Amino acid sequence: MPPAQIHTRAHVDTVLAEHGLSLPTPSKPVAAYVPTRRVGNVVYVSGQIPVVDGKLIAEGLVPTHVAEEEAQRCARRCILNGLAAVFAGIGEDEGIVQIIRLGCFVACTPDFTMHPKVANGASELLVMVLGDEGRHARAAVGCPSLPLNAPVEIELIVEVGKAG
């Protein structure tokens, strides 16, 4: 079996730039937790909400206050924030081997059932950036509210390894 491809920060930055995107400065936790916890070569990423420069890009329930397409955009922002947290939590000589699991939480009305479509905003971005190594197991769950009135929150489990 060939060695796993390691997606370095430079690689991720290059792919994102080709699509007009970039990784942000990692957000500071809003409560009593750490952004990432590493166990061996696995990094658990705490829930990421769609913030840019400390402000939510949308607030409220899907679809009442936030349209489904806007919720997908929020999911993509959560992924950018999550990838930034991963790279902040690993060594400069390391990168992402693969995304193991993604959990997507959607603050929504009781009759909203398109959680998987919202989560696709996140999943498709990961595949765009990481190729097959971005494919992952996933859960997409509706809930009555999320921290700070965020419409979407995403958590990740990521395998990392030494580059080169």
Looking up residue 31, the CATH number of its domain turns out to be 3.30.1330.40
Confirm whether 56 is domain-assigned: yes
Confirm whether 19 is domain-assigned: yes
For 45-83, the pLDDT digits (tens) are 999 999 999 999 999 999 999 999 999 999 999 999 999
Q: How many separate domains does the chain show?
A: 1
Confirm whether 4 is domain-assigned: no
For 9-50, the pLDDT digits (tens) are 999 999 999 999 999 999 888 789 999 999 999 999 999 999
The whole-number average pLDDT for the span 118-124 is 98
Q: What is the extent of the structural domain holding 116?
A: 9-162
pTM: 0.96
Cβ neighbors of 64 (< 8 A, separation 6 or more) are 109
Confirm whether 3 is domain-assigned: no
